[in-house]
Structure 1
């Protein structure tokens, strides 16, 4: 025999399917699993058209790891995306610390709503109205409160949430994510651990022999037939450093 609370919840689920779905899918990332992580805060790099294509690199194996960490064992095609908490257009990284499964179906808050905020923050930061660090902190701390602050009321009369799911009326004072400066790319310059500037002839220094081509693929000095004819756009000390900067190896 079902208890009255159980019967009540079943009735709610039958009457409001979207409400029942909201109880299953995360609206906000779990800060213990994915607190957010940045690759760079440099506007000279981020705000150049096409930047995100040079750093986007989340393999399917990593996406599956994100789903498992959030306890999502099954899903329909197009139901979720593995989203960057701090979006790439705001300097976010491809680290698992910056990824979580976000639903397109939850109502009224979903991946489409967060996309609107990402675009707004990108415009504000690249336009000089706020700093890139402010944009990164706002979306990493709580994207629902950031939406209210920078875009306006949440759709459907929704209220901002806390990571536990309860409504909140204030932006929590959380620490700023630690920016990681990015290395030289086609769009700008800077420094990143394990990175080095290519030599004038397109070769790499011995301390950082990994070559990154114009297509964003890194080449190893051994076992790679294209290595010698690749004119390096960036150099790295090892494959892990190149991957951390958003580049991929030869398939």
Structure 2
């Protein structure tokens, strides 16, 4: 009789331990789910803030050409040779480049390593000569001008084919444009394999 009671108690204790283990596992799984959901929410929030900042940056009026709008892209940026008709004289732009080199403490002898960049290119509605739209970029490298020119050309084509709005293209090229470059193959206008395949040295 005592042996039977002992076995019954052992069995009860065993069941209790199993139930406790299952309960602990459930709590751990629940905590993991909560942490996963919080992480996803933070990622979504970060992406939203980044896109909002990019759009705001791109729509800074001091960087844009007021003559260009979504309504007139056919007669402006999508017209062959448009950029040449609104660009300042070459000598004037070189003077601006020399000024930027001096402001940043870059030796004039190394000037050929850098391009005079427009944060929002002319062919995407950027101002040709506004100071706020001018910058210096190295020609090569992951964040160099050659790579940016490829992204610019593709964005312009997407806009002119009606597959992307001018505002979206400006947001993609402004700010941290190299991040858009890296992921542009998954964007709706993604039929140019050349953009995705270019090397990090810009060649």
Q: Report the TM-score when normalising by structure 2.
A: 0.53
Tell me the C-alpha RMSD between the 2 structures.
2.9
The structure with the largest alpha-carbon Rg is: 2
Cα separation, 2, equivalents of 1:115 and 1:61? 22
CA displacement 1:146-166 (0-9 Å, x = unmatched): 2123246585579xxxxxxxx
Q: Does 1:127 align with 2:157?
A: no
Q: How many residues align?
A: 125
Q: 2:138 aligns with which of 103, 108, 118?
A: 103
- The alpha carbon displacement at 1:79 in A equals 1.4
Structure 1 position 86 matched with structure 2 position 116 = no
Which residue in 2 is equivalent to 1:64? 98
Structure 1 pair 101/157, CA: closer, same or farther in 2 (3 Å)? Answer: closer
Q: Give SS of 1:112's match.
A: helix
SS state of the match for residue 153, structure 2?
Answer: helix
Deviations 1:75-107 (A, max 9, x none): 4363111011111111111211111111124x3
Q: 2:184–2:196: 8 Å Cα contact kept in structure 1? A: no
The answer to whether the Cα contact below 8 Å between 1:144 and 1:154 also exists between their aligned partners in 2 is no
Structure 1: give runs of 5+ residues left out of the alignment: 1-30, 159-251
> Does residue 69 of structure 2 align to residue 43 of structure 1?
no
Which position in structure 1 is the counterpart of 2:53?
none
Aligned position for 1:180:
none
Instruction: Report if aligned partners of 2:119, 2:133 keep a CA contact under 8 Å in 1.
Output: yes
- Select the structure that is richer in helix: 2
Q: Distance in 2 between matches of 1:35 and 1:101?
A: 20
Contact 1:52 1:89 in 2 (8 A): yes
**Separation in 2, partners of 1:47, 1:116:** 16
Equivalence for 1:203: none
Q: Write out aligned runs for 1:1-251 (5 A).
A: 37-39=63-65, 40-41=68-69, 42-44=72-74, 45-57=76-88, 59=92, 60-76=94-110, 78-93=112-127, 94-105=129-140, 107-151=141-185, 155-156=198-199
Q: As a proportion of its length, which structure holds more strand?
A: 1
Gaps of 5+ in 2: 1-56, 186-194
Judge conservation of contact 1:120–1:150 (CA < 8 Å) in 2: no
Higher RCO structure, 1 or 2 (CA under 8 Å, sep 6+): 2
**1:148 touches 1:154 (CA, 8 Å); kept in 2?**
no
Other structure's SS at 1:76 match: helix
Cα distance between partner residues in 2 of 1:147 and 1:47: 21
